[in-house]
Amino acid sequence: MFCIECGTHDNPCRCKVVGPTLGFLLLLITALVLWPVGAIVFIFNKAKGRKIMSKPVNHIYPAVSHAIPI
């Protein structure tokens, strides 16, 4: 399984494979940990629970995907 992102201006080929693939794998790993924790926190504090559950999608994936230009 791998991800391809085409149309970027990060490299001469304008396609990225490594960054999006690693970003997706790290998204899955962190989601397995943070989503259950966020669900438990959501019971007591809804805003904080939502913030925890959105962290893999909104912070982890973009940071890893944009850090690796190939």
DSSP letters, 10-70, are SSTT-EESHHHHHHHHHHHHHHHHHHHHHHHHHHH-HHHHHHHHHHIIIIIHHHHHHH---
Q: Per-residue b/e over 53-65, b at no fewer than 16 CB within 10 Å?
A: bebbeeebbeebb
Domain count, the chain: 1
Residue 65 confidence (pLDDT)? 80
Residue 55 confidence (pLDDT)? 92
Q: Give the domain extent around 41.
A: 5-67
Contact 25, 66 (CB under 8 A): no
pLDDT tens-digit readout, 6-61: 766 666 666 777 778 888 899 999 999 999 999 999 999 999 999 999 999 898 88
pLDDT tens-digit readout, 11-22: 666 677 777 888
